[in-house]
Structure 1
């Protein structure tokens, strides 16, 4: 089992049990489905993008689908994927309740492989920080680049390094890589640091490091406000 699966499966199972609607509800950040963390960014961003009518969008790591439903209600043709079946089951229910059409499916963003189609927009609503290791992030960003039309946009919201963030005693933050590790039993993807086993947990990069990573993956950063980023394919990549 990959390092990112168990945490997300457990979270969505808790969400179902508690009658909540989205990931951020679990942490007291939201309390209704249509109010989701990157909605203000999307509301600002959509008016800035040069998009065709009824643009195709892929959202990976969609969770229970609030951003996907938001876009579908505004005329986007939306494909949305998530790793966790419970999340997709809820996403389909919430889309049906709102009368919007979204093509939801269960898929691991780190194993998307060769593209099946290209999109005017690829959207990340706080998924990338949970994709921690260099090989996984390379695979993901390569897949995004491959799926983006030459005139398309990669719209990204991700958690970044915060000097005021407190890492509890079971966590270890590597200032060199931006990787936050969580103490764990030996398992697939676990690493041993100073005699203790850890699993990769989050990647909290400084904004400049995030920008450099995106540029190295073949993107041109059009705008960046912390972890809210709009990219296009860099010419010639």
Structure 2
């Protein structure tokens, strides 16, 4: 089982059991499905993109689908994927309740093939921070670049390094790499640090390091405000 699976499966199972609607509800950050964490940025970004009528969108790591449904309600043709079956089951239900058409499917973004349908927009609503290792992030960003049309946009919201964030208890932060580790038992993807075992948990890069990573992956940063970015393919 990959390092990012168990936490997300448990979270979406809790969410379903508690009658909540999205990941951020679990942490008291939201309490309405249509008010999702990157909505304000997404609304602002859409005013700046030069898009065709009925743009094609791929959202990866879509969770229960609030952003995907938001776009579908505005005439976008949306494909949305997530690793966790429980999340996709809820996303399909919420889309039906709102009368919008989104093509949801269960898929691991780290195994997303580069070749395939191309899109006017590839959207990430706080998924990339949970893709931690260099290898996995390189796979994701390569697939993003190859899935974008030549005129397409990568719209990204991700958590970044916060100097006031405190990593306590089972968590350990490596300021050199931006990787936050969580204490774990030995197993797949676990690494040993100072005699203790850890799993990759989050990647909290500084804004300049995030920009450099995207540029190295062939994505030109069009705008950046902290962890909210609009990118295009390098021409």
Is the 2:114–2:142 Cα contact (8 Å) retained in structure 1?
Answer: no
2:76 is matched with 76
1:134 is matched with 134
| 1:115 shift after superposition | 2.2
Q: Tell me the secondary structure at the aligned position of residue 29 of structure 2.
A: coil
Distance 2:104 2:203 in 1: 26
Distance 1:203 1:179 in 2: 5
2:196 is matched with 196
Distance 2:69 2:223 in 1: 24
1:196-225 Cα shifts (integer Å, max 9, x gaps): 000000000000000000000001100000
Distance 1:21 1:167 in 2: 27
Q: Which moved more, 1:108-117 or 1:187-196?
A: 108-117
Distance 1:141 1:187 in 2: 26
Query: CA RMSD of the aligned region, Å?
Result: 0.5
Q: Tell me the secondary structure at the aligned position of residue 132 of structure 1.
A: coil
2:42 is matched with 42
Q: After superposition, where does 1:155-234 map in structure 2 within 5 Å?
A: 155-234=155-234
Distance 1:74 1:46 in 2: 11
Any stretches of 5+ residues in structure 2 without a counterpart? none
TM (norm. structure 2) is: 0.99
2:123 is matched with 123
TM (norm. structure 1) is: 0.99
2:85 is matched with 85
1:26 is matched with 26
For this pair of structures, how many residues does the alignment match? 235
Q: Tell me the secondary structure at the aligned position of residue 231 of structure 1.
A: strand
Task: Note if 1:56 corresponds to 2:49.
Answer: no
1:88-128 Cα shifts (integer Å, max 9, x gaps): 00000000000000000000000012322000000000000
Distance 1:211 1:70 in 2: 27
| 1:187 shift after superposition | 1.0
Any stretches of 5+ residues in structure 1 without a counterpart? none
1:102 is matched with 102
| 1:80 shift after superposition | 0.1
Runs (4+) off by over 3 Å: none
